[in-house]
């Protein structure tokens, strides 16, 4: 009888220990979800407010190329180096547009970088995304014309070190603004789900703007005389 009573007491003590821990974990999931959803919405709302100006950014890059280095690489070879310079063109377009949202980007990164969920995969996704946005918010736009001229001056044999260094940082970090990670919804209440839905709608509009910018990328490449 004593043994059964002892076992029951131990089980009760274990339950009292485990249940609060589980409750704390669930509470942390909810808190992290709420913080992320709010920060993500502020970010995508900022990007949507600047969408017209962001779509003008590639045209500004094109105008600069037309002023400073039109047809600078005319009849250049199509190879790995031209692909690297194509990536630099993309970076010049993206960073000029993202500069419009610099305050919102920094605020999102500050809010999201240390968030934690009981799901390790979700935590990695959000923190990785925040790390990528930190890079994009801090990375300086490349000196496109100077880099193209340096490539031409080498007889198309050597890419400038600036292009190689820029692409090495920019390309792995290049992400769109707005994230709805898998697994987040199960931690979200009705209010958070509603805000996620609104954010998703804004992200669709941002993606449409990015798709329209592809034509400008082609114009810039043609103006430089580079084939990707």
DSSP letter string, 17-75: HHHHHHHHHHHHHHHHHHHHHHHHHHHHHHHHHTHHHHHHHHHHHHHHHHHH-TTTTTT
> What pLDDT score was predicted for residue 1?
43
> What pLDDT score was predicted for residue 227?
94
Q: What is the rounded CA–CA span in Å between residue 52 and residue 210? A: 11
Q: Residue 15 above 50 pLDDT? A: no
Q: What angle (nearest 5°) sits at the alpha carbon of residue 162, between those of residues 160 and 164?
A: 75
Read off the pLDDT band of 138 (50, 70, 90).
Answer: very high
Q: Residue 90 above 90 pLDDT? A: yes
> What pLDDT score was predicted for residue 216?
94
> What pLDDT score was predicted for residue 26?
72
Mean pLDDT of 100-129: 97
Residue 193 is inside which H or E element, if any? helix 190-224
> What pLDDT score was predicted for residue 164?
98
Helix orientation angle between 51-68 and 190-224, rounded to the nearest 10 degrees: 20
């Amino acid at each position: 009888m004593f043994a059964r009573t002892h076992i029951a007491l131990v089980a009760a003590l274990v339950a009292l220990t485990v249940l609060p821990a589980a409750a704390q974990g669930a509470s942390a999931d909810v808190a992290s979800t709420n913080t992320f959803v709010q920060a993500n919405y502020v970010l995508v709302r900022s990007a949507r407010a600047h969408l017209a100006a962001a779509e003008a950014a590639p045209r500004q890059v094109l105008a600069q190329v037309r002023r400073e280095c039109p047809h600078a690489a005319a009849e250049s070879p199509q190879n790995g180096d031209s692909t690297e310079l194509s990536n630099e063109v993309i970076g010049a377009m993206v960073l000029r547009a993202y500069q419009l949202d610099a305050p919102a980007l920094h605020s999102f990164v500050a809010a999201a970088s240390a968030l934690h969920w009981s799901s390790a995969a979700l935590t990695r996704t959000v923190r990785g995304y925040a790390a990528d946005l930190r890079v994009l918010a801090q990375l300086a736009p490349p000196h496109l014309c100077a880099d193209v001229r340096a490539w031409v001056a080498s007889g198309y044999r050597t890419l400038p070190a600036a292009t190689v260094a820029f692409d090495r940082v920019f390309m792995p970090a290049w992400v769109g603004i707005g994230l709805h990670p898998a697994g987040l919804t199960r931690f979200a209440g009705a209010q958070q789900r509603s805000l996620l839905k609104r954010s998703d709608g804004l992200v669709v509009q941002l993606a449409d703007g990015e798709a329209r910018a592809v034509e400008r990328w082609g114009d810039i490449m043609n103006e430089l005389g580079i084939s990707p």
